[in-house]
């Protein structure tokens, strides 16, 4: 038997949502009317659905409502400095009011249902869980200066004891660095889990303040090879004995490039030096195997005595080193 629902009044909705039974008001069908919804969005740290002492309201969170999943009309606002929102002119009925992340505020979204009665104000506080994001980079000395260190293992030292404990977040870096989601709030360090052999890092931990609902970018950690002092003498080695003998000219203005990418040019991140009137140069270089590109001024080359470019491969340990660059006349 069919019973017409339309009448002088109708029950708008009885819905069970999230275990709570919401009973709508009965409104006049002819004049639906509008009401007001207001409330706060707050960080429900203990997840009990109630705003407790110490739990904060959140400013700048997007809040929107719609009548239901099929209602394409979405009205959006955002919480003010006090974490409050307000919607006027809301059609009467049961509305879902949702809070979602916006701009620099990160929350797990949540929706609450609220019954709007014409001419009245309904209050709906929206509990959400705010989470913090910690990002950062690990970099190393590469062919063109500092570049991303991929595969570095880092952890977030939540209890600040300098060790990676069970339950502490850890990650392996990619080209983009690392990113810890849902990081614990407070002042904490991100530390390198293991430093690769033969590397003397400039920093193995970085520290910052982590705030719920916010993203924080920690300073870079830098892996670097030890830097050593490299000096030497450029000369014409007439007898080819690799010794600077009496009567062998010392070469002035010879450029010595620590050519990390071996392309014959000095670029950003590559050290270099020119020899002085005594044929001496001094610069620095990363320990390990390095390639020196040595450029001799044209005036010497034009003499036909030797080529104007020389490539020298040397292995530097962590101590300082003095080398001889002898040019043997052809
Ligand atoms: Ca709570
Ligand atoms: Ca720890
Ligand atoms: Ca000699
Ligand atoms: Ca180069």
Q: Token pair for residue 318?
A: 């962590």
Spacing, Cα 261 to ligand 4 middle (Å): 5
Spacing, Cα 86 to ligand 1 middle (Å): 22
Each residue's pLDDT tens digit, 292-326: 999 998 888 665 556 678 899 998 877 789 999 99
Q: Which whole-number Å values give the CA distances from 19 to 15, 34, 47, 49, 112, in the listed order?
A: 10, 27, 16, 13, 12
What is the per-residue pLDDT for 222? 86
Predicted confidence (pLDDT) at residue 254 exceeds the cutoff of 80: yes
pLDDT band at 18; cut points 50, 70, 90? very low
What are the backbone angles phi and psi of residue 317, rounded to the nearest 5°?
-85, -165
Spacing, Cα 327 to ligand 3 middle (Å): 9
Q: Are strands 205-210 and 186-192 parallel, antiparallel or unpaired?
A: antiparallel
What ligand has the least distance to the C-alpha of 261?
Answer: 4
Predicted confidence (pLDDT) at residue 78 exceeds the cutoff of 90: yes
Predicted confidence (pLDDT) at residue 60 exceeds the cutoff of 80: yes
* Greatest mean pLDDT among 136-150, 199-213, 278-292, 299-313: 278-292
Spacing, Cα 169 to ligand 2 middle (Å): 10
Predicted confidence (pLDDT) at residue 142 exceeds the cutoff of 70: no
pTM confidence score: 0.59
Spacing, Cα 249 to ligand 3 middle (Å): 10
Predicted confidence (pLDDT) at residue 277 exceeds the cutoff of 80: yes
How far is residue 293's CA from residue 275's CA, in Å, rounded to a whole number?
A: 13
Q: Dihedral of the CA atoms 139, 164, 135, 186 (nearest 10)? A: -130
Which domains does the chain possess? 9-130 (2.60.40.10), 132-223 (2.60.40.10), 227-327 (2.60.40.10)
How far is residue 229's CA from residue 227's CA, in Å, rounded to a whole number?
A: 7
Tell me which residue of 292, 293, 288, 291 sits closest to 316, measured CA to CA: 288
Spacing, Cα 193 to ligand 2 middle (Å): 11
Spacing, Cα 48 to ligand 1 middle (Å): 5
Poorest-pLDDT segment among 172-186, 199-213, 226-240, 255-269: 199-213
């Amino acid at each position: 038997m069919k019973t017409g629902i339309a009448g002088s009044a109708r029950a708008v909705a009885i819905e069970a949502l999230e275990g709570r039974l919401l009973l709508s008001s009965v409104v006049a069908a002819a004049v639906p009317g509008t009401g007001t919804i207001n409330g706060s969005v707050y960080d429900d740290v203990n997840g009990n659905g109630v705003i407790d002492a110490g739990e904060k309201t959140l400013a700048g969170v997007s809040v929107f409502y719609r009548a239901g999943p099929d209602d394409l009309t979405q009205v959006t606002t955002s919480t003010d400095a006090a974490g409050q929102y307000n919607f006027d002119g809301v059609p009467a009925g049961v509305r879902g009011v949702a809070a979602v992340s916006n701009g620099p505020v990160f929350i797990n979204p949540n929706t609450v249902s609220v019954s709007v009665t014409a001419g009245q104000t309904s209050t709906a506080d929206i509990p959400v869980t705010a989470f913090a994001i910690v990002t950062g980079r690990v970099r190393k000395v590469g062919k063109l200066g500092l570049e991303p260190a991929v595969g570095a293992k880092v952890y977030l030292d939540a209890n600040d004891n300098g060790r990676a404990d069970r339950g502490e977040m850890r990650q392996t870096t990619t080209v983009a660095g690392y990113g810890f989601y849902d990081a614990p709030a407070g002042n904490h360090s991100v530390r390198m889990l293991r430093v690769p052999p033969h590397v003397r890092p400039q920093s193995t931990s970085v520290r910052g303040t982590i705030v719920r609902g916010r993203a924080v970018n920690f300073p870079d950690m830098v892996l670097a090879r030890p830097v050593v002092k490299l000096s030497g003498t450029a000369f014409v080695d007439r007898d080819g004995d690799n010794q600077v003998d009496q009567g062998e000219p010392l070469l002035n203005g010879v450029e010595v490039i620590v050519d990390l990418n071996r392309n014959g040019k000095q670029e950003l991140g590559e050290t270099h030096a020119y020899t002085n009137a005594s044929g001496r140069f001094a610069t620095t270089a990363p320990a390990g195997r390095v390639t020196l590109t040595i450029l001799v001024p044209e005036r010497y080359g034009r003499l036909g005595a030797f080529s104007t470019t020389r490539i020298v491969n040397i292995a530097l340990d962590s101590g300082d080193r003095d080398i001889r660059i002898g040019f043997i006349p052809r």
